[in-house]
């Protein structure tokens, strides 16, 4: 799988991902680290490729895009339809509207910022979306001190909220980074 990520990473560089500004430098390394986290957590190749391409259409947190939505077919031709669908869903998400709905008892309607519509999200798509979301956020916390200071607590909250939809590896990795360890001081030995 690593060779596949490397090959597809080169294609992202050709699209200008290394020149696209991002929280911790350029977008390209963030995309690769996100895909690598997904791979380390044991996810299937299609989800790892979606992680590599998760910002190709832009995201709610990134203005601009590497590729216009009209080129979804070309991206599907590169990474496959399954991975492209996950990448689209991630980029399309209206985070302020959708994230608070995850983990609640209400019927879950995805909020698509591209089409300005809401629609039901299937369980597999929700699981992929949540796993990718945690990989994205964890990489940002690990890669940027400023982002970590501001958003580490939110990562812990999000990991808790998404717990039933993500792998134990994703959940535990996020909590281990996001939950500050308390310094209990020296141990008293009697």
pLDDT tens by residue, 72-97? 999 999 999 999 999 999 999 999 99
Each domain of the chain, given as residue ranges in start order, spans 2-178
CA distance linking residue 23 with residue 21, whole number of Å: 7
- Under a CB-based contact definition with an 8 Å cutoff, are residues 34 and 135 in contact? yes
Q: How confident is the model at residue 152 (pLDDT cuts 50, 70, 90)?
A: confident
On average, the pLDDT of the chain sits at 88
- Look at residues 128, 133, 146, 145 and name the one whose alpha carbon lies nearest to residue 173: 133
Distance CA 166, CA 2 (A): 22
117-120 and 109-112: which strand pairing? antiparallel
Q: With 90 as the cut, is the pLDDT of residue 176 above it?
A: no
Looking at the whole model, is its pTM more than 0.85? yes
Residue 154 pLDDT: 86
Contact call for residues 5 and 32 (beta carbons, < 8 A): yes
Cα–Cα distance for residue pair 184/7, rounded to 1 Å: 47
156: how many CB neighbours lie within 10 A of its CB? 18
Which among 14, 12, 19, 63 has a CA at the least distance from the CA of 34?
Answer: 12
């Amino acid at each position: 799988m690593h060779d596949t990520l490397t090959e597809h990473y080169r294609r992202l560089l050709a699209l200008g991902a290394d020149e696209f500004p991002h929280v911790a430098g350029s977008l390209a390394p963030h995309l690769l680290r996100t895909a690598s986290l997904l791979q380390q957590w044991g996810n299937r190749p299609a989800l790892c490729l979606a992680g590599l391409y998760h910002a190709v259409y832009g995201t709610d947190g990134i203005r601009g895009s590497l590729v216009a939505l009209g080129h979804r077919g070309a991206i599907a031709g590169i990474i496959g339809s399954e991975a492209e669908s996950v990448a689209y869903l991630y980029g399309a998400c209206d985070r302020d509207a959708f994230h608070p709905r995850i983990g609640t008892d209400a019927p879950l309607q995805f909020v698509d910022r591209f089409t300005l519509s809401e629609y039901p999200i299937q369980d597999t798509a929700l699981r992929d979306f949540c796993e990718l979301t945690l990989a994205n956020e964890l990489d940002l916390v690990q890669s940027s001190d400023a982002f970590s200071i501001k958003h580490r607590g939110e990562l812990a909250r999000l990991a808790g909220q998404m717990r039933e939809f993500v792998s134990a590896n994703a959940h535990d990795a996020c909590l281990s980074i996001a939950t500050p360890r308390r310094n209990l001081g020296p141990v008293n030995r009697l």
